[in-house]
Amino acid sequence: MNEYSDKAVENFNHLELDCLVVIGGEGSLEIGYKLYQKGLPVIGIPKTIDNDLDKTDYTFGFQTAVQVACDAMDRLHTTGRSHDRVMILEVMGRNAGWIALEAGIAGGAHIILIPEIPYKVENVVKKIQLRKDGGSPFSIIMVAEGAFEEGGDLITQATAMDRLQGVPQLGGVGIYLAEQIKERIDLEVRTTVLGHIQRGGSPTAFDRVLGTRLGSYAVEAASKVKFGNMVSLKTPDVVLVPLKDLAGKVRRVPKTSQLIRTAESIGINMGREVW
């Protein structure tokens, strides 16, 4: 990959610009921080559906992606229940399970699999079998694209690489999981991969308000020459946090998260042995 940062700095200075606003996730803001170190006046704004950026409660785009995934799960319930099927919904999120976890809880998933908790297929099948034996021969599974089997590897598109970051493209764990389940239980299993539908369309009201708040505060910070920072939601306030404290860091779901405890307390299986 070619290095153009010095040229970017040269062009910025040639155009006599006042501020570079970097909008994106941990990768984009890491680049923004490097440009700040090279002397550019940089303000960061957290925007990623993955919600995996450190030092902010939420990134805008996340709640919209959760709503899209929740709506899809609501629709899958209908077919799963009427046809006695195991329905798997694979969602995005890369190496963090925020979308799968929140949408899975909101959408009534019976099983949620996230990267932070490597799953055992035996535990997944056990939950499905318990539901079948109890008179509910259908199950809804929410799986994050970065989820993987205990002792196994991430499932990736074998020949696909992210053209900008040069990293393997995640995807396919839903189909892989379906084959694992089919081998162990006599039920039809179907997989839906939601893909880039999560990344577009009309934002939720929450994301519209959050984006507006962050953008407004970014302009205010720039006007006060508070460069080298990112605007951040620290509920209920919007604050500034140094780019050096968050650039390049991925915020994953803590295994002690109250969200995980909530899911398991209402009977959702997370792919591990909790009964």
26: CB partners within 8 A, 6+ apart: 48, 52, 53, 54, 246, 247, 248, 249, 250
18 among known catalytic residues: no
Residue 199 DSSP class = G
Asked whether 90 and 194 are in contact (CB, 8 A), the reply is yes
Asked whether 258 and 246 are in contact (CB, 8 A), the reply is no
Cα dihedral 223/227/233/236 (nearest 10)? -50
By CB atoms closer than 10 A (0-12, 13-18, 19+), residue 108 is: middle
Which one is catalytic: 6, 50, 84, 133?
50
How many other C-beta atoms can be found within 10 angstroms of the C-beta atom of residue 216?
12
Q: What are phi and psi of 87, to 5 degrees?
A: -110, 120
Please list the active-site residues: 50
